[in-house]
Amino acid sequence: PYGKLGSYKKLEVLGEGSYATVYKGQSKHTGQLVALKEISLNADEGAPFTAIREASLLKTLKHSNIITLHDIIHATTTLTLVFEFMTTDLSTYMEWHGSSGIHPSNAVLFTFQLLRGLKYCHDRRILHRDLKPQNVLLSELGELKLADFGLARAKSIPTNTYSNEVVTLWYRPPDVLLGSRNYTTSLDMWGVGCIFLEMLTGVPVFPGNSDASDQLTKIFKVLGTPSPSSWKMLPSLPCYPDLLRSFTPAHSRVNFVETFTKISRIEFGVEFALDLLQYEPNDRLSGEEAMHHPIFHLYPDTIHHLAHR
């Protein structure tokens, strides 16, 4: 039954993007619900590279906190990726709870699951590069799965050729906003910090309006404005001279308990957020370090020994 479009029936449209439409579907052989990501093929250009990249990476990633790719169907005018069906995404889930944010204990649980999926990727030298609530899927049981690997890259050898036009602006770390192309897994860890705080507030933490300059200003107003003395690599970043206007006037870091009121209900919550949202990439927690942070101290130790699947 695999590799054939006739093996699945479309039920309803779940979402539409610039090059793909996602349908809720069902396997005619098993009755299992699936998500059908139908990508239009251009006769001259073939399949979009992002789709090829996503499919090739997901075939190698088998983890309970990463979306499962069941099937790939190549037709004349379409390429269809068949995924396991998930009820909603984190962005929609937060919308259901309004501007008050979700329950702190759920925010901690979702963050741990996100870290499990990311660590599995990072251990295989794969960077997601587009962490945002829309790319984090949830089941009815509260299972979280990382999805949309269209921008992901396998970092097999050190390189200085990555694009700095990665990650949706609101979740892009300051070193990348300032032109760094030599990033590592720290790129994704900044995104975890942004998503953690967004779950507690119900709104994006750094909602830049237009460009890197405005995005940096939003970050500095919350975390404080760095200087060459507080962030040693700052003067060496390619876009620093062009974005100097973002550094004036200088801001001090906000009081996290006052600004993110729900964080006071999470023991070690402030420390966890600040350990992820470090300006210096090498100072951010790794996936392994984050999973063993004291914020998760109430979870049994066995949670660190669960099977991947």
For the annotated catalytic residues, the residue numbers are: 130
Sequence-distant (≥ 6) Cβ neighbours of residue 66 within 8 angstroms: 58, 117, 120, 121, 145, 146, 147
The b-or-e profile of 130-142 (16+ CB within 10 A means b, else e) is bbbbebbbbeeee
Give the C-alpha separation, 185 to 309, whole Å. 23
- The answer to whether 10 is annotated as binding is no
C-alpha distances out from residue 50 to 39, 149, 170, 225, 257, Å: 11, 8, 21, 35, 40
- Give ∠ CA 202-203-205 in degrees, rounded to 5: 125
C-alpha distances out from residue 113 to 23, 130, 203, 252, Å: 25, 17, 21, 32
Token pair, residue 121, equals: 């990727």
- Regarding beta strands 88-89 and 78-84, do their DSSP bridges make them parallel or antiparallel, or are they unpaired? unpaired
Give the C-alpha separation, 86 to 138, whole Å. 6
Neighbours of 116 (CB within 10 A): 21
Give the C-alpha separation, 306 to 300, whole Å. 11
Residue 287's closest CA among 120, 109, 105, 108? 120
Residue list, annotated binding site for ATP: 37
Residue list, annotated binding site: 37
